[in-house]
Amino acid sequence: MKTGIWLDKEKAHIVTLNDGKMSFNTILSNIENFRIHGGSGTKFKGGPQDVVQDSRYLEREKHQFRTYFKKLVSEINNANAIVLFGPAETGEKFYKELTTHYKDLSAKIKDVTKADSMTKRQIIAWVKDFFKPAS
């Protein structure tokens, strides 16, 4: 079973290829978009800015990422080969999580690649192309 995951901070699209059959599944991350604003009220550029509990937001975000990644792991547990792709650094974060906490799964990672936003069809075509046998 070969699995491709296009993922970003909001969602993951999982394409599974198994004996000529293909399945497509989307998992939402439920990671909040934190907007950290300074609370000083000054209009001047470079004026004083309050650090609004950055560490608390970052800790909560880290927790939410971990929950998101656990959901993904439960989806891909049976994969023999995995490719991760997508924009931003979410793919790398997921790969790091796998190498730290899920060593058996991380050994099945064939590649971690940057890719822009794609339609469902493009994601499916990309995964099929990635895993097509070399001629």
Res 94: pLDDT: 95
Q: If you average pLDDT over residues 101-129, what whole number do you get?
A: 95
Tokens of 1: 């079973």
This model's pTM is above 0.95: no
Structural domain boundaries of the chain?
2-31+52-131
The pLDDT-based confidence of 47 (bands split at 50, 70, 90) is: low
Q: Measured between alpha carbons, how far is residue 120 from residues 12, 30, 64 in Å?
A: 11, 20, 25
User: Domain 2-31+52-131: which CATH class?
Assistant: alpha beta
Q: What percent of the chain has pLDDT over 70?
A: 84
Give the E-state strand segments of the chain in sequence order. Answer: 2-7, 11-18, 21-28, 81-86, 109-114
Res 110: pLDDT: 96
Rounded to the nearest 5 degrees, what angle is found at the Cα of 69, between the Cα atoms of 30 and 53? 55
Res 35: pLDDT: 60
d(CA 78, CA 29): 21
